[in-house]
Every structure is written in C-alpha cells, then in structure tokens.
Chain A
Amino acid sequence: MVFSSPIFLFLFLPICLLCYLLTNLFGNIKSENICLLIFSIIFYAYGSIDFLPILLGSIVLNFIFSKIVDTVENKYLRSFVFIISILINVGFLIVYKYMNLFTGFLFGAENATNIKLPIGISFYTFQVLSYLADVHSRTVKSSNSIIDFALFTMLFPQLIAGPIVRYSTIELELKKRRTIFTSFSDGIMRFMVGFTKKIVLANALGRIADLAFKELGYYDMGPLLSTFVIICYSMQIYLDFWAYSDMAIGIGKIFGFTFPENFNMPFLSTSISEFWTRWHITLSSFFRDYVYIPLGGSRKGLLITCINLTIVFALSGFWHGASFNFLFWGLYNALFLVIERIVRSKFKIEVPQTIGIIYVFVVWNIGMILFRLENLDQIRLFLTGAFSTPLYNYSTRELVNEVYNPYFMVCFVTSLLYLTPFFSKIKNFLYKSRFGFIIVDILIITLFLYAVIEMLTSGFNPFIYFRF
C-alpha cells in the first residue's frame, strides 16, 4: 500500500486514525502500540501477504538475538551471536534481493532463480541491523517488549521506504508519547505537502522520463532533449523520495513519533561529499556509522580512506537495486568522493558556491543515467542518441509536445524552485506577517485538494466509442 493511493487515504488512514484515537482516549500506551502494530501488519499484508511470515519471523528471531546479545556477559559469545545475527539478516537480504542477479550472472538469464523481492526488505533489514549493532555496542538496551520491537521494525509509515529509523530515536516514544493536537496537525500539514509534491510534481516529471525511457526507446533525442529528460528523471527521483519521506514523517507525527529528516536541500551542496550528507540522510548515516567508521573511516590515511569510501559507496549503490548499474552508480559516486578527498588533502582550493552547486548538479545528473538505464546496451543507445542530430519522428515529437505543455512547464519550474529554499523562504516570510499563515495554509489545502483530485482522476482518459 502506498500513501498516495485511494485505499490508503480514504480507507486505511481514516479507520486507523479512528481506532488509534479511540485507544488513545480509552486505553494506554500498550493498547496504542498494539493498535498501530495491527494496522502495520494490515498495511504490509495488503501489498505483500506472502512475505508477512518472513517479516514476522525475522522480528521474532531478531528479538531473541537482541536479548541474547544484550544479556550474555561472555564477550566472545555475545560477539559470536551478534555476528550470526548479522549474517542471517544480511543473508536474507542477499537471498531475496540479489540471488536472481547473481545466478543470472553466473548461469545465464534463463537459469536464474526467480525469487520475489519482499517489499521493504532493504529498509527493515537495515533498521534491524542498526538495532543489533547498537545493542551490541551497548548504545541502547534491548527492548523488553516484543510488541515494541515489532512496532519499531514495522511501523507502517516508515516500513516500505524509510526513513531508516534507529531504535534510540523512537525508544522513548515507544514507551511514552502524547498524541497532542499540535503535533497531530503538524503531521497533517507535512503529509499534505508530501502528498502534493508526489502527485503533482514528481508524477508530472515522471511522465516525461517514462515517455522518453520506456516508450521511445531513448533514441535520436539529441543533446538538448536528452539532457532535459535526465534532469526530469533526476528531479522526479528527488521529489518522489523526498515526498515519501515527508508523508512518512507526517504520519509519524500524527501518531506521536518523531522520525529523522531524510533530505536537506541536497542540490545546494557544493561537493558530492556534502551532497551525501544532505541526500537520503538516514541511509548515509547508517553506512557512515555501521560500515565506514568500523572500517577505519578517515583515520588510517588517505589511501585507506579512499578504499573505505569506495567500499561504502559500492555497497550503497548495490543497496539501491539488484542490478549492476546500481553498483556502477555507487562506484561513480565514490570516484568523485575520492577525487574530492584527494584534491582537498593536496590543494587548498576554495570553490565558489555557484560553481560548486553547478558541479554537483552536473555530476549527479550524469550519474542518473547509470541509475536509470540497466545495461551497457541501453546506456550506449542513450548516449548515441544524445550526441546525435535530433530526428523528430512522430514519437519524439510527442515528447516535445509534452514538454511544451504549459501545465508541465508550471510543474517543472515549481520543481526547480523546490531544489532551492525558495518555498521555505516564502513560507517564513508569510508566517512573519499577521495573516500570512492563512495564505500558506489555504495554498497548502488547495494544492492538496488538487492532488487528491489528480490522484483520483489522472487515469480517467476515456475514449469516445470509436466506430471507424
């Protein structure tokens, strides 16, 4: 179930809210947690009922592991159990996410396994790994309640696409939280903004990217159109993911949880290393704390730092998808991080902010070609088309018409502005005036209403009954 679907908005959410408010009025924190856990199970089962036993099994197993790791005094036994638990979790991830790729690579596509990917496995596995690591390092105490632990693992707002929440972040809220009107309405506002961003902007950009990549076969677009399409795709990924995080954080707030932010204006970064501290922050910090630093981080000299960065970004790339293009994409990012690290250590260059921003934008967008296109053939076709003289056949023309569509242009320009702090500045400015906040609220409400209508009607493109 996705947040931007009618079943979530009009059925799941109202019923869940109603039940939660009732338990909030008449029950205690335990009953609230049980209520949320039941709805989280329903949420997951709706999209992936076959994999529900795996998730529930993983919860029970990891709960037991965490208790052993936490309570056993013997240092070696603790570490042994911890390593076993990590290997089992990573093993699950490898089997379900990468086995098809590996067997296809080793034995040919026709002999590859055909294992289905459980929804959200990358996110909940990482969440559990961070929990086990924190318990092992005594950063947190293991949970005494399997309900709380289960809720931490599968709390529905962040179950499918993050943010990756650490146990320490919501530990207290699992035990004691107050659902107050202010956080309730702040959550609603955050959800509405995210929902609108996803439905109106990300989907509009996605239509262009899909038209170019799926339907046209990306040939003969010429340099301008190819560049434009890549920028659209890159912005779609950003807005889509950011919007999802907004909605997750918003729903979390509605139920009294404070999830970490996942994005912080990444396109204002002046280097790729800075970019990764602002983009998918919870994933970056996971890799930083649980892979990069344990490997030695930047403490063991330039060469080891560069190797560590390469390992981390290769893993990060592979985490994004079970395909080699993601590995190359991770390595591509690592390359720039390594270059930046070397340049910074050898030369004291102050890059002007604008140049830095442009550099990041260009590097990131080129990287998106690797992110989107799955194999070398596709990349070759795309680049050949990008560096050819455009031949506007009927299909390409269709893309051009879509791009020149005034509605799309409004969406595109708004999306571009979203890469900057433009809207937050406007919002802050209006909030300072006496009634400016009403303008902001009415705007958010109106756009949310439009987004809801768009969600319900975008697929309605009826034909007249053609009778040639």
Chain B
Amino acid sequence: MKLKKIIENVLLTFFFLVVIAYPWVATFLGIENNLSGAEEKVQFSFERIDDYIIQNFPGRSLLVRTKNQLLYSLFDISPNTSITKVGDTLFSTETLNYYFHKLHSVSNAEIDALIEKLSKFNDICKRKDKKLIIVITPTKPRYYKGILPFADDVIMLYEKHGTNYDDMLPYNKLKIALNNTNLNYFDSINYIDSNPSRIIGGEVPLFYNSSHHWSVYKANLIGLAFHEHMRKTLGIHLPSITIKASPSDVAVYPDADLFNVLNIYDKPNEQFYAPIIDYNNYDNDNLNFTIQGGSFLGGLLLPQTTLSVYGEVYHIENKNLIYNKYKNHSAFESYDELNDKFHLIDHLHKTDVFILEINELNVYNATFGFLDYLLEHEEEI
C-alpha cells in the first residue's frame, strides 16, 4: 500500500511538473510554431496577456496538430470552427453563414448602390478610353445544397414565409440589375450552369472536398471562356490555349486550402490534378491592367497570359498588392498608403483595362472599397 502511494505520488508530481515546465522545455528544444491559417495577431498588452501567451506559446503547433488530429480521427469532426465538415466535404463556416443569410442578406438598395457605382465608373472609363470588365464568381455551397443537412430547412422556412429562397440570393438580384445596364460582365456561374458536363462533370471536380476555392484546373477551363469573352468584348489579342489535367499527389494552391487550415498530420485523401497549359503564338497588345479580385478570379487569369501578354499589372487582392509580373506582393492598410508606396494613381492613369471581381457572397462589400477609391479619384485616372 505504501509503495503504491509512493509510485502514485512520484508519477503525478513528475508529470505535473513536466506539464507546467513544458513551455520552457519546448523553447529549449526549439519546437517551431508552423501553423496554417490566418488569425488575429495579438499585440502584447496587460489586458490580453493570456491571449498573447497562448499565441506565442512555445511548441504550440505540436499541441494544436495533436489535438486536432485526435478530434478529426476519433470523432470525424472539423477541429476548426471556421470550417464545417459535412461528410468528407469541407466548407468555410463563414461562407455557409453568408449563403444561408445568417450574416448578411443583401438588400435591393445595396444592389442598386453597387450598380450605380459600377455604371458611374464605366462612364469614366469610356470617357478616358479605358475598358471595364466585371467578373462574377461563385462559392462552394451553391453546388452542394443537396448534401448540406440544413439547407432544406432554411429553404422551407423561406417558403413558409412566402419568399422564394433563390430570389433572395445576392447573385440573382445582381443578375437582374446587371441585365438592365450596358456593363460588360463575365458571369462564371452562368457559364458553369450552361456547361455542366465540361465544368461540373469529368474526373476533376469543380470543388475539391478539401478546398474553399474552385479547383485550379476547372477554374482555368472557365478562364478560357473568360479569355474568349475578353477577346470578343474588348477586342484584344490573346493566345490560343489548350489545358489538360494531370494527376498530382500534391494539391496545387489553393486546391486544399481548407484542409490545410485544419492543421492536422493527415494529408487530404483525394486525387488532385494539376493543369498543364499549352499556348500558341499570339500577338502582344501589351495592355496595362488593374485587377481587383481574390483567388476565384485568380483561377480565371491564366498564368501565361497575365505574365506575357499583359503589360504592367497591379493585382489588388483584398489588402495585398501583387505587382512586378506577379513576382512581388505587399500588404497595405489603405489605398492612400498604396498610392504613397507604389504610385497607384500613376498606374491607374496608365491602365487600359480594369477587371473587377464580384463574388456572389461578397456583393454587399464588392471590391472591398476599391471602387469607391476609383470614383473618388476620377480626375486622376
């Protein structure tokens, strides 16, 4: 009995001391904190000292990955609340919330305001001999309503109140409004719906289970249609391109972006494909572009075209500027800062073509304020 108690006391005390000494041990062993995903950076302050310690905890990545792997393997759930797991398919929780109008349902007034701004900017472009093209992009939940267990309930609830759920979708409202204007836009959602066998069918999925964005290969295929649209509506010369899918063990970015943010030891369990793109000869218009849009739009912009055919390109992606033929990028806080550091207005002045993305769920905040900035600096463009 006495021996039992001694063993127990030593075991518990030793272990407890090891745990509370862990941060010092992890620092000594140099365990790195490599985690995927974006989180708010906590600055050191007395009020947020716990958050600061947690964020900078030595060996945190080991703990996070171990716990997440446990939850993922034992309970088959997403260990990250920002990600919802339905069967094998991952969704961004925030996107689902937007799609089901939990976070922001777009009003007709917001649509009207956006169209008014776009029309105004389009008029400016016309006056200054520049072109504007708007690109509408989709989100994942649109194509998975069948598997989302709560989708039917939500849709039924709308019907119960005499409203058609589809009519409430920002995309449908936006389409109705755009059709009453002479704005030049490329509707990738409509293209997908019109070409289901090419885009939705086939070996390569439109969306991987592991991704938030559309698969790079399928996005590139849609990009061909976007090229065709630009060729027709803008009259610019673009190369002829063929695209093939090649099986790949590794996901091309961002084909497993959601899975990576789970921060587990497992690798995504699906077959990925990488696009192989061939180009024919082309005439080079050497036009300057200003592009505003994220990874959905990024998939449509075929690399060879953007790198070789376009002249100078400023690609603004939320709060990042990508420039110098996509070789450099820089984060910024405001467009004024961008102008100070990278002479944005000079570039806008030189720009021949503006491409602005409107993602169907981001209609209420389309272009993240860039359109407003353009309108504010009308004279300088």
Contact = CB atoms under 8 A, between A and B. Distances in A.
Interface of B: 4-5, 7-13, 15-16, 19-23, 35-39, 49-51, 53-54, 57, 60, 63-64, 66-68, 70-71, 74-77, 80-82, 92, 94-95, 97, 100-102, 137, 139, 149-150, 153-154, 157, 160, 212-213, 254, 257-258, 260-261, 263, 293-296, 298, 317-318, 357, 359, 361-362
Question: Chain B interface secondary structure, helix, strand, loop or mixed?
Answer: helix
A351 interface: no
Contacts of B66: 453
Nearest to B95: A466
Contacts of A186: 9
A200 B7 CA distance: 27
Interface stretch (A102-110, A255-263, A437-445): A437-445
Contacts of B4: 437
Contacts of A462: 35-39, 80, 82, 261, 263
A466 B77 CA distance: 22
A392 B160 CA distance: 12
A192 B97 CA distance: 38
A464 B254 contact: yes
B19 A449 contact: yes
A144 interface: no
Interface string A360-398: 000000000000000000000000000000011111011
Contacts of A395: 102
Interface stretch (A1-9, A23-31, A299-307, A312-320): A1-9
17 contacts: A182-B9, A185-B9, A188-B16, A392-B157, A397-B154, A407-B71, A437-B7, A438-B11, A452-B22, A453-B64, A456-B64, A457-B63, A460-B39, A464-B37, A466-B94, A468-B361, A468-B362
Contacts of B53: 6-7, 10-11
Contacts of B362: 468
Contacts of B20: 9-10, 13-14
**Best-buried of B9, B35, B261 by chain A (most CB within 10 Å):** B9
Given A9-B19, A401-B150, A406-B76, 12 more contacts: A184-B9, A188-B12, A391-B160, A394-B102, A395-B102, A445-B12, A448-B16, A454-B67, A457-B63, A459-B54, A467-B317, A468-B359
A394 to B, nearest CB: 4
A454 B64 CA distance: 8
B54 A394 contact: no
B158 to A, nearest CB: 10
Q: Bin the interface of chain A by size.
A: 35 or more
A451 to B, nearest CB: 10
Given A5-B50, A394-B100, A450 B67 contact: yes
A198 to B, nearest CB: 15
A463 B94 contact: yes
B7 A438 contact: yes
A437 B57 CA distance: 33
Nearest to B49: A7
A181 interface: yes
B94 A181 contact: no
A347 to B, nearest CB: 49
A13 B17 CA distance: 10
Nearest to A49: B46
Interface in A251-288: none
A76 interface: no
A463 B139 contact: no
A6 B51 CA distance: 9
A463 B37 contact: yes
Contacts of A461: 39, 80-82
